[in-house]
Amino acid sequence: MSTLVPQGRRPQRLTIGRIGVYAFLLTAALFFLLPLWIMVMTSLKPMEEIRLGNIIALPAAMTFEAWSKAWSSACTGLECNGISVGFWNSVRILIPSVILSIIAGAVNGYALSFWRVKGANVMFGVLLLGAFIPYQVFLYPLVRIFSMTGIYNSLTCIVMVHVIFGLPTMTLLFRNYYAGLPIELFKAARIDGGGFWSIFFRVILPMSTPILVVATILQTTGIWNDFIFGLTFAGRENLPMTVQLNNIVHSTQGERAYNVDMAATMLAALVPLVVYFVSGRWFVRGIAAGAVKG
């Protein structure tokens, strides 16, 4: 080695450092993947194997029985029709909630960015502060209001709640996005004679595709994963999947069927996971956009 003349590429030092980096990352990856692995494995095993066997082992005899049970016959409280009921409930809650909350956020963001309305910024400030306050502070009076107007415990109720509590984030998202658009666009449209709504639909909305994607991802994940509003406002016929999952797992009826529990959990996790994997970079962009407060 002593007669080696240095030329060309440096010899690979830092091998220990490199190994350390990968070791750390792989260990972390293990930590993050383990629960998912266990959920999937458990859901594919029969109960005897779960009781006797090893929680991380592959199933000896893979069976999807737990999954079909979870879907169609698990007991979610008084009924035993499986979590499929919750799935469709969640869908029925999701679609109108996402659409309406995005529309609301977009219109608000647009109005706040381009039009100067007196007091609008104060309202926006209060809205943002409201996002930090725990829901429990608003919950009971809200229940009373819905009760008095007769829409408590209905689909309308839960959709309205999602829209209301989605307003701070959605408005912030769209406002920040629109604030980044060149104001000349808007001014040119005004000179051309555009009014509030025509400019919105013809100029601004067509330019909103990226933020619409981000908003959809955020709202879909947030609303699908919601528990507390579903529990409080949806009413027994409309309980979302998260609530039903909780009921299945904590049900006191009969013996704990861990494989069914896990299958149900996987089913509940499916939609957000799919959204996550499909959206890729957009998911991260959504976090970044939502994270930049004010």
Partner 1 sequence: MSTVSVRDVTVAFEAVQVFDGLSLDISEGEFIVLLGPSGCGKSTLLNAIAGLLDVAEGQIWINGKNVTWEEPKDRGIAMVFQSYALYPRMSVRENMSFGLRMAKTPKPEIEKRVARAAELLQITPLLDRRPDQLSGGQRQRVAIGRALVRDAAVFLFDEPLSNLDAKLRNELRVEIKRLHARLGKTTMVYVTHDQIEAMTLADRIVVMKEQKIQQIGTPDEIYHRPANLFVAGFVGSPQMNFIKGRLENTGEGLSFLAGDRRLSLSAYPFATAPSAGQEVVLGVRPEHLEIASDGTWPGFKVDIVEPMGADTVIWCSDPVGSVQVRTTGSRKAMPGESLTLHVDPSQVSLFSAETGERL
Partner 2 sequence: METISIRAPSVTPSGTKTRRSVRTRLPAAIALLPTALIVLVVFIGCMLWTVRLSFTSSTLLPKLDWVGFAQYSRLFANDRFVTSAENIVIFGVLFIAGCLIIGFLLAVFIDQNVRGEGLFRTVFLYPYSMSFVVTGVAWQWFLNPGLGLQKLVRDMGFESFTFDWLVNQKMAIYTIVIAGLWHGSGLTMAILLAGLRGIDKDLWKAAKVDGIPTWRVYTSVVIPLLRPMIVTAVVLLATGVVKLYDLVVAMTLGGPGIATEVPAKFVMDHLFERNNIALGTAAATMMLITVVIILAPWVYIRYIRQDGRHA
Among 176, 208, 219, 242, binds partner 2 (CB under 8 A): 242
Q: Which is nearer to partner 2, 64 or 197 (CB)?
A: 197
Counting contacts by CB under 8 A, is residue 62 touching partner 2? no
Q: Which residues contact 282 (CB under 8 A, 6 or more apart)?
A: 213, 214, 217
User: According to CB under 8 A, which residues from 66 to 85 bind partner 2?
Assistant: none
Give the residue, chosen from 94, 167, 211, 263, that forms a contact with partner 2 under the rule CB under 8 A.
Answer: 167
Dihedral sign (CA 268, 274, 275, 281) = positive
17 binds partner 1 (CB under 8 A): no
Contact between 1 and partner 1 per CB under 8 A: no
One-letter amino acid at 201 equals F
Identity of the residue numbered 215: A
- Regarding 288 and contact with partner 2 (CB under 8 A), the answer is yes
Q: Which one of partner 2, partner 1, none is in contact with 9 (Cβ closer than 5 to 8 A by kind)? A: partner 1
Give Dmax over CA atoms of the chain in angstroms.
Answer: 91
In whole angstroms, the minimum distance from the beta carbon of 7 to partner 1 comes to 5
What are the tokens at 19? 């190994």
Which 3 state secondary structure label does DSSP give 178?
helix
Question: CA triplet 8, 14, 17: central angle to 5 degrees?
Answer: 160
Number of residues that bind partner 1 (CB under 8 A): 7
Residue 228 binds to partner 2 (criterion: CB under 8 A): yes
From the list partner 2, partner 1, none, pick the one residue 225 interacts with, judged by a Cβ distance below 5 to 8 Å according to partner type.
partner 2
Tokens of 31: 């930590």
Specify the DSSP element, H or E, that contains 293: none
Q: How far is the CB of 7 from partner 2 (least distance, A)?
A: 21
Is 145 one of the binding residues for partner 2 (CB under 8 A)?
yes
* Shortest distance (Å) from residue 2 CB to partner 1: 14
With residues binned 3-state (H G I as helix, E B as strand, rest as coil), the percentages for the chain, rounded to 5, are 75, 0, 25
Q: Is there binding between residue 28 and partner 2 (CB under 8 A)?
A: yes
Instruction: Please state the closest distance from residue 14 (CB atom) to partner 1, in A.
Output: 11
Stretch that binds partner 2, among 2-10, 19-27, 74-82, 149-157 (CB under 8 A): 19-27
DSSP string, 132-167: HS-THHHHHHHHHHHHHTT-TTSHHHHHHHHHHHHH
CA distance 38 to 231: 27
State yes or no: residue 151 binds partner 2 (CB under 8 A).
no
Q: For residue 224, give the H/E element and its range.
A: helix 209-224
As measured in angstroms, the least distance from the Cβ of 3 to partner 1 is 13
Kindly tell me which of 181 and 275 has the beta carbon lying closer to partner 2: 275
Binding partner 2 (rule: CB under 8 A), the pick from 203, 232, 238, 257 is 232
Query: Of the candidates 80, 99, 127, 181, which one interacts with partner 2 according to CB under 8 A?
Result: 127
Q: Is 116 in the site for partner 1 (CB under 8 A)?
A: no
Closest CA to 108 of 48, 169, 54, 35: 169
Provide DSSP, 250-286: T--SSS--HHHHHHHHHHHHHHHHHHHHHHTHHHHHH
Which residues would be at the binding site for partner 1 (CB under 8 A)?
5-11
